[in-house]
């Protein structure tokens, strides 16, 4: 149910987060025991989130002038452990996740398609940023494709999982998000890696249709996919030559350059945000940055 609500409702992500957190707090003892039983399987993910939070907390204590909201995102990432605890406690059937991802991807496709085609929005993003929407749609697409493997092993039709996978990809394309297209390449590698599991002729035809669809979308002017790719290439060339660094991609490259310079100065303890801002302004003034 949760994946089906993430992109198509205002409250999907927030509601799920609070439900997971409250469930974990309410059943903390049982949840901790369940987590301990599966610690070998989940330890590296949870330790990575914990390391990130502890590191930011140490920076915060070392630099008390930083605002308290510095800890918000790392803490929210670490609190994702509550989702793991809730799932281990409830032990819902995997089918719930599969069908939730399939429904979520299909719903996202129709939702973003309405914004793009009917409302004629240039960068539709549902109830959130277009980039975030596209990234989550791609995740739902990949989960749906994983569901196809599960369905295949169980001897069931994989039509709906593959439809969900294609729907998520279409939703990503309609957002106009360029970064997600890199994820499509990784998704294609995933399909190639496990393509031998799809022995059905119809399954292979549908996968082939998905590749053909992606190619067609690239050349259809209405999707602006080809235009945005060319714009990105042109922006990089203009930034590299110094002709124009204030393009969409050029500004990002300048920010990455500034971040690299700041990290090089204080690679271990980081920089105070106010001081870092002053340095970036000074670099812009002396021509080091644009």
User: CA 34: distance to chain centroid?
Assistant: 28
Q: Pick the more confident residue, 68 or 207.
A: 68
> Quick one: 116 and 188 in the same domain?
yes
Whole-number pLDDT of residue 193:
65
User: Residue 85 falls within a domain, yes or no?
Assistant: yes
> Quick one: 165 and 271 in the same domain?
no
**Distance between start and end Cα atoms, the chain:** 47
User: Residue 79 falls within a domain, yes or no?
Assistant: yes
Residue 176 CA to residue 197 CA, distance in Å, equals 32
> Quick one: 86 and 187 in the same domain?
no
> Quick one: 106 and 218 in the same domain?
yes
> Quick one: 99 and 208 in the same domain?
yes
> Quick one: 122 and 218 in the same domain?
yes
Q: Pick the more confident residue, 236 or 214.
A: 236
Whole-number pLDDT of residue 110:
92
> Quick one: 53 and 127 in the same domain?
no
Mean of per-residue pLDDT scores for the chain: 80
Highest mean pLDDT among 15-29, 134-148, 173-187, 266-280: 134-148
> Quick one: 54 and 73 in the same domain?
yes
User: Residue 218 falls within a domain, yes or no?
Assistant: yes
> Quick one: 104 and 39 in the same domain?
no
Token couple for 183: 């994820």
Q: Is pLDDT above 70 for 188?
A: no
Q: Are 107 and 45 in contact (CB under 8 A)?
A: no
Residue 221 CA to residue 240 CA, distance in Å, equals 28
> Quick one: 212 and 243 in the same domain?
no
> Quick one: 104 and 214 in the same domain?
yes
Residue after which a domain boundary falls, among 190, 222, 254: 222
Q: Is pLDDT above 90 for 176?
A: no
- Quote the domain boundaries for residue 273: 229-285
> Quick one: 56 and 8 in the same domain?
yes
Q: Is pLDDT above 80 for 252?
A: yes
Compute φ and ψ for 154, nearest 5 degrees: -85, 0
Residue after which a domain boundary falls, among 90, 118, 143: 90
Token couple for 55: 């590191």
Lookup result for tokens 């793991």:
84
Residue after which a domain boundary falls, among 90, 117, 139: 90
Q: Is pLDDT above 70 for 200?
A: no
Report the domain count for the chain. Answer: 3
Q: Is pLDDT above 80 for 57?
A: yes
- List own/partner pairs for 197-202 with CB under 8 A and 24 or more apart: 197/149, 197/152, 197/153, 198/148, 198/149, 198/152, 198/158, 199/152, 200/152, 200/158, 202/159
DSSP-assigned letter for residue 9: S
User: Residue 58 falls within a domain, yes or no?
Assistant: yes
Average pLDDT for 226-236: 78
Which pLDDT tens digit goes with each residue over 155-167? 787 788 888 888 8
pTM over the 0.75 mark = no
Q: Is pLDDT above 80 for 183?
A: no
User: CA 1: distance to chain centroid?
Assistant: 19
User: Residue 290 falls within a domain, yes or no?
Assistant: no
Per-residue pLDDT band at 223 (split at 50, 70, 90): low
Average pLDDT for 181-195: 68
> 30-39, 162-171, 205-214, 238-247: lowest mean pLDDT where?
205-214
- The residue count of the chain comes to 290
């Amino acid at each position: 149910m949760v994946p089906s609500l993430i992109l198509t409702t205002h409250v999907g992500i927030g509601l799920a987060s609070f439900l997971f957190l409250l469930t974990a707090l309410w059943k903390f003892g049982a949840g901790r025991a369940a987590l301990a039983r599966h610690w070998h399987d989940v330890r590296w993910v949870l330790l990575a989130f914990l390391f990130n939070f502890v590191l930011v907390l140490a920076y915060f204590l070392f630099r008390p002038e930083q605002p308290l909201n510095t800890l918000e995102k790392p803490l929210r990432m670490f609190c994702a452990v509550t989702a793991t605890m809730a799932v281990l406690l409830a032990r819902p059937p995997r089918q719930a996740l599969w069908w939730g991802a399939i429904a979520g991807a299909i719903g996202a496709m129709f939702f973003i398609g309405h914004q793009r085609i009917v409302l004629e929005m240039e960068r539709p993003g549902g109830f959130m940023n277009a980039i975030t929407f596209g990234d989550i749609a791609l995740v739902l697409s990949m989960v749906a494709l994983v569901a196809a493997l599960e369905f295949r092993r169980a001897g069931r039709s994989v039509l709906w999982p593959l439809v969900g996978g294609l729907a998520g990809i279409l939703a990503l394309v309609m957002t106009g998000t360029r970064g997600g297209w890199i994820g499509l390449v990784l998704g294609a590698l995933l399909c190639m890696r496990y393509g031998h599991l799809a022995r059905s002729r119809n399954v292979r035809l549908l996968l082939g249709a998905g590749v053909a669809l992606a190619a067609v979308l690239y050349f259809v002017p209405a999707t602006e996919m080809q235009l945005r790719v060319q714009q990105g290439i042109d922006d990089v060339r203009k930034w590299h030559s110094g002709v124009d660094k204030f393009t969409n991609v050029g500004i990002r490259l300048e920010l990455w350059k500034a971040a690299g310079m700041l990290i090089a100065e204080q690679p271990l303890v980081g920089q105070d945000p106010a001081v870092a801002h002053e340095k970036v302004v000074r670099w812009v003034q002396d021509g080091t940055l644009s």
